[in-house]
Amino acid sequence: MQKMSGRKRPCRAGTEKMIVLGIESSCDETAAAIVEDGKTVLSSIVSSQIDIHHRYGGVVPELASRKHIESIGPVVHEAVRKSGIAASGIDGMAVTQGPGLIGSLLVGFSFAKGWAWSRDIPIVGVNHLEGHIHSVFIGDDPPVFPFVALLVSGGHTGIYHVISHIESALMGQTRDDAAGEAYDKVAKMMDLGYPGGSILDQLASQGDPGKIRFPRPYLDKNEFDFSFSGIKTAVNRYIQTHPDEYREQTADIAAGFQDAVTDVLSFKLIRAAQEMNCRHIAVVGGVAANNGLREKIRSRAAEHHLSVHIPPLELCGDNAAMIAAAGYHYLKAGHRLPLNADVYSRIKKE
């Protein structure tokens, strides 16, 4: 990246702490956080839009953008106030640059550039997915490099070989629906509401995962790509062919669906760790909050003597603490965001 043109204020050097303000607005959460040295959260504010989008069964981009505009200022100011750090004590900024909804990204990105420029502090753009991976470094039990991370959310599902704080390699990803997206669509088929992930997870705990078995689309068991559209279609077909009884079987359907999804996710994560000879694995992203997935990965990891690292629930979904944590390492490495930089909706091609 190029350095920001114009005035330059370096981050504090030596043994002093580095305080980073992070901003996240890639989808339907407006978030800001103050993080010290990439691992200690001094404040984290998340303004959710679930109540707005619930009636539509999914995120409406235009509505999301409008709400971000209303929320960004108050959220950032509250994060600064709650941290106990004066604005003058912030050493750098990190903001989500992509991927995500363009309109939503632009709100946080534009605000962050203006805020940083007006205060003469360095700023970096952060890949949202790298932010999720860095959520496991916030706390007392970070993984040891290199490790393998499963990133599973509403918009993304992939496996990464993480070599350092600023270097990772994609090993495989979904070819169609993300796992979280499949959860939302299945919940919508069953008229369970939005967001579907937490609803299906809770319902699955009341059902029998062996009563209604759905296919496991492993694709190639030696490779690490995913496909979840087939599981979604199988659930839809079951509902259509059992119109008079499926409403009495919702718990068993949820359990069978979740069992299929978590089987594939856990199998490929363990297989990737074995392939890369890594003893540490991580699960990050919104679906990392899923109890069924957490339990299955911990159980299977124990069989292979792997160390499992999962962020606390409040850091699984979209938040700005993870963006600040990732940004800290890029700032230390000398990266800077040019003033003419723009957001991107998909993964940038190098």
Single-letter amino acid, residue 21: L
Per-residue pLDDT band at 54 (split at 50, 70, 90) = confident
57: amino acid identity, one letter: G
> Is the confidence at residue 13, as pLDDT, over 60?
no
Which of 177, 226, 182 shows the shortest CA–CA distance to 201? Answer: 182
pLDDT attached to residue 348: 56
At 45, phi and psi to the nearest 5? Answer: -115, 130
Q: How sure is the predictor about 28, in pLDDT bands with cuts at 50, 70 and 90?
A: confident
Residue range 21-42: average pLDDT? 96
Domain layout of the chain by residue ranges: 19-134+317-332, 143-310
Residues 245-280: tens digit of each pLDDT: 888 999 999 999 999 999 999 999 999 999 999 999
pLDDT tops 90 at residue 7: no
| DSSP reduced 3-state for 242 | coil
Q: In this structure, which topology does domain 143-310 adopt according to CATH?
A: Nucleotidyltransferase; domain 5 (3.30.420)
Q: List CB contacts of 109: < 8 A, sequence separation 6 or more.
A: 23, 25, 95, 96, 97, 125, 342, 343
Domains 19-134+317-332 and 143-310 in one fold: yes
Q: Whole-angstrom Cα distance, residue 264 to residue 129?
A: 21
Burial of 277 (0-12, 13-18, 19+ CB in 10 A): exposed
| Tokens (6 digits) for 4 | 């920001």
Burial class (CB in 10 A: 0-12, 13-18, 19+), 119: middle
> Could you tell me which residues come within 8 angstroms of residue 90 by beta carbon, excluding any fewer than 6 positions away?
19, 20, 21, 34, 80, 119, 121
Question: In CATH, what number does 19-134+317-332 get?
Answer: 3.30.420.40
Looking at residues 176-202, what average pLDDT do you find? Answer: 91
| 204 has pLDDT over 90 | yes
Place of tokens 């003419």: 340
Residues 93-144 pLDDT 10s: 999 999 999 999 999 999 999 999 999 999 999 999 999 999 999 978 899 9
Can you tell me the distance from the alpha carbon of 291 to that of 139, in angstroms, rounded to the nearest whole number? 20
Mean pLDDT rounded to a whole number for the chain:
92
